[in-house]
């Protein structure tokens, strides 16, 4: 039997898949049309190269000898098949680069506000937390890439990891709030109180002295 949380996760993944299918259908159709056109062009080029290559003869090189003409005629199909392989690699490289850029552009596609409201109303609170954790950049709108990452994170057990983070954070906060304050050392307080206080020095008063006169003044007769 599946637990209720597992059922909720399956329902959330189905809801995300429905929104992603709606948002990516146009992009998928456009890429399928482009790939089909490129495939037809590549097929036409390869057939043209093989047909034209098969019509080439080396009779003008008889001056080099019949053996040389025979060898060139024998390897002629392989030469043009090599040209076809080289052209195919070039086309494959171009298509691969275009496909990667197109996928990145599709991942950056913005999700309308109405779709986000409908989706969050359908998802469980745990999956909404995963979406918020994936989004993280609150200054940028939600993109298709955010929904894809949310779906992948739900599949990989991100809900359980976020629950563990919350539980561990709460345990650490509770431990910090319950840590008692270390009391002061009573012996240190006693030593500080018993320390003698040095008396303040008394001010020194210097008295003014009158100048003594050594000479006596005699009266004039």
For the stretch 165-185, pLDDT in tens is: 889 988 998 888 875 555 555
d(CA 144, CA 58): 58
pLDDT 10s digits, 10-24: 899 999 999 999 999
Asked whether the beta carbons of 153 and 134 are under 8 A apart, the reply is yes
Residue 150 class from Cβ within 10 Å (0-12 exposed, 13-18 middle, 19+ buried)? buried
Say whether 143 sits in a helix, a strand or coil. Answer: strand
Say whether 147 sits in a helix, a strand or coil. Answer: helix
pLDDT 10s digits, 55-94: 777 666 666 667 777 777 788 888 889 999 999 999 999 9
On the CB side of 156, CA atoms within 13 Å amount to 10
pTM, rounded to two decimals? 0.66
What's 124's DSSP letter?
-
Predicted pLDDT at 137: 67
- Which tokens is 91 given? 């086309």
């Amino acid at each position: 039997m599946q637990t209720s949380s597992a059922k909720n996760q399956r329902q959330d993944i189905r809801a995300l898949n429905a929104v992603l299918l709606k948002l990516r259908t146009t992009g998928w159709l456009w890429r399928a049309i482009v790939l089909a056109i490129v495939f037809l062009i590549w097929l036409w080029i390869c057939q043209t190269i093989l047909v034209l290559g098969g019509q080439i003869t080396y009779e003008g090189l008889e001056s080099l000898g019949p053996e040389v003409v025979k060898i060139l005629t024998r390897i002629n199909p392989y030469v043009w098949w090599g040209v076809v392989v080289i052209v195919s690699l070039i086309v494959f490289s171009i298509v691969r680069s275009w496909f990667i850029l197109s996928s990145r552009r599709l991942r950056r596609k913005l999700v309308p506000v109405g779709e986000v409201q409908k989706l969050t109303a359908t998802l469980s609170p745990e999956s909404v937390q995963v979406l918020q954790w994936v989004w993280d950049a609150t200054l940028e709108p939600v993109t298709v890439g955010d929904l894809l990452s949310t779906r992948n994170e739900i599949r990989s057990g991100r809900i359980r990891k976020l629950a563990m983070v919350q539980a561990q954070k709460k345990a650490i906060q509770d431990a910090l709030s319950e840590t008692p304050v270390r009391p002061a050392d009573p012996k240190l307080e006693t030593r500080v109180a018993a320390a003698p206080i040095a008396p303040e020095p008394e001010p020194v008063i210097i008295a003014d002295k009158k100048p003594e006169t050594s000479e006596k003044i005699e009266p004039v007769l």
